[in-house]
Amino acid sequence: MSSNMVIEERTYTAHPGKWREYLALYEAEGMAIQHRILGRMAGYYTTEIGDINQVVHLWAYKSLEERTERRAALLADPGFRAYAHKMLPLLQKQESRIFRCAPFFAPMWRDADGKLRSESDEESR
């Protein structure tokens, strides 16, 4: 089971006390747009121990090229730009890391309808 997929880990550090406001804004205005354009949310977390005020989200892509295309479409979307205008002042810092899947692992994610999906689901379509 070999996967060419990559996972992007995005870590946002909110200003102290602002992570709850960030999550509420994301759920209300950002999440549907990202699901529509980025597609494969593989995880969304808040930190409990360690660096606090952080939100970590994971996105699965078939390749780095797909990531580049989808991110460009996201940044060009007027709804996302309006959301980002409200969201960015809540953050101190944004970080991004890219991971390649180990040969024995295939990531899974929930689609916009809440159905659990994997790379093999997309290949069979």
Q: What is the pLDDT of residues 60-89, one digit of tens each?
A: 999 999 999 999 999 999 999 999 999 999
Q: What is the pLDDT of residue 1?
A: 41
Q: What is the pLDDT of residue 105?
A: 83
- DSSP-derived letter for residue 80 is H
Is residue 108 exposed (0-12), middle (13-18) or buried (19+ Cβ within 10 Å)? middle
Residue 39 lies in a domain: yes
Residue 15 lies in a domain: yes
Q: State the residue for tokens 């205008």.
A: 85
Total domains in the chain come to 1
**Higher confidence at residue 40 or residue 116?**
40
pLDDT band at residue 123 under the 50/70/90 scheme: low
Residue-range definition of the domain harbouring residue 108: 6-123
Q: Are 27 and 114 in contact (CB under 8 A)?
A: no
Residue 1 lies in a domain: no
Residue 69 lies in a domain: yes
Q: What is the pLDDT of residue 102?
A: 86
Return mean pLDDT, the chain.
90
Q: Are 95 and 8 in contact (CB under 8 A)?
A: no
**What is the Cα 64 distance to its own chain's centre?**
14
Residue 84 lies in a domain: yes
Q: Is the pLDDT of residue 3 over 70?
A: no
Q: What is the pLDDT of residue 87?
A: 98
Q: What is the pLDDT of residue 84?
A: 98
**Distance in Å from the first CA to the final CA of the chain:** 18
Mean pLDDT of 100-106: 85
CATH number at residue 16: 3.30.70.100
